[in-house]
Amino acid sequence: MPVPEVPPRRRAGRTVALIAVAAVLGVVGGTAVGYGIQAEREPTPLPALNQTDLAYPAKPAPKGQEPPALSVAEDRGLKTEGDLSKLLLPKPAGAKKSEFVPEDGWRSVASYASDFNGPSTELAYLLDGGIRRVVTTGWRTGRYKYTEINLVQFRSDGGQGAAEHSEGQRRFMDAEAGESQPVKGSADGRTYLLPVKRKAGYEDMYRARAYVHRGDIAVEIFVTDIKKISQKEISSLAERQLGRL
């Protein structure tokens, strides 16, 4: 049943993606304090998109013969129907696992929806779009730099849940971000550098994001730091994660 029309909702975001570091002013020891990065998306479903990333054999079968079985490289389903957590980018050498992601990486749909202001409305939207499961990874580099990656999988029975989910995030980012670039190897994925966030008594907070999908999986990447983040860095993360799907 279609989700009723509602006002735009605002994504509160996961704590790992919202870290701001307190400055010396009035705070002992440089304690880390979170404050919100927010991303809006319209609830109105988008028009149906052309189906992409279909798998075909490398060579057509001779006339009158059955087509050869697809290899893992040719058939995404052999990978994406298994343990989705194995498709996440590995934690870089020397990085520490983020304290803000589940130990096993798996999140319930309800938990994922709670990242949004108006979780019940978001949950209805995600269920209507055919969401199946969510897995996440995250790490900390140094003291204040955090990276998080979400793989959000939708039903692949003819729906366009992953494409629509990514498109909804990008529509907000297109208006919010200060700099954007397409993700190589994707149809419409993009990376974003958001304007630096400044607050009296706090270190400046720099934020980068990437939204891309492949088949029935939407990819979300968040990076926050007290130092400037380059397009090269967020683009490399997006391209490498996309390459694993």
Q: What is the pLDDT of residue 174?
A: 85
Q: Is 169 within 8 Å of 180 (Cβ atoms)?
A: no
Question: 62 or 242, which is more confident?
Answer: 242
The residues, ordered by sequence, that sit 6+ positions from 209 with a Cβ below 8 Å of its Cβ are 39, 173, 177, 191, 192, 194, 220, 221, 222, 223, 234
Q: Pick the more confident residue, 178 or 55.
A: 178
Q: Provide the pLDDT for residue 6.
A: 36
Question: Can you tell me whether residue 131 is helix, strand or coil?
Answer: strand
Using CA of residue 229, residue 135, residue 18, residue 113, what is the dihedral sign?
positive
pLDDT of residue 66: 57
From 170, 155, 178, select the one nearest 231 (Cα to Cα): 178
Which pTM was predicted?
0.71
pLDDT for res 161: 93
C-alpha closest to that of 222 among 93, 96, 45, 100 = 100
Domain borders along the chain are 9-42+72-243
**pLDDT-derived band of residue 20, with 50, 70 and 90 as boundaries?**
very low
**Better-predicted residue by pLDDT, 114 or 36:** 114
Query: Does residue 63 carry a pLDDT above 80?
Result: no
Distance CA 178, CA 200 (A): 21
Whether residue 134 is predicted with pLDDT greater than 90 in this model: the reply is yes
Q: What percent of the chain has pLDDT over 70?
A: 66
Confidence at residue 56, expressed as pLDDT on a 0 to 100 scale:
47
Q: Is the Cβ–Cβ distance between 139 and 97 less than 8 Å?
A: yes
pLDDT tier at 153, thresholds 50, 70, 90: very high
Average pLDDT over residues 151-170: 90
Q: What's the rounded mean pLDDT across residues 56-82? A: 56
pLDDT above 50: residue 204: yes
> What does the alpha-carbon distance between residue 19 and residue 61 come to, in Å, rounded to a whole number?
54
Lowest mean pLDDT among 8-22, 72-86, 168-182: 8-22
The per-residue pLDDT for 62 is 67
Lowest mean pLDDT among 68-77, 85-94, 157-166, 213-222: 68-77
Cα angle for residues 213, 227, 142 (degrees, 5° grid): 85
CB neighbour burial string for 183-210, b if at least 16 within 10 angstroms, e if fewer: beebeebbbbbbeebeeeebbebbbbbb
Give the confidence band of 32 by pLDDT, cuts at 50, 70, 90: very low
What the block records as the tokens of 213 is: 């999908």
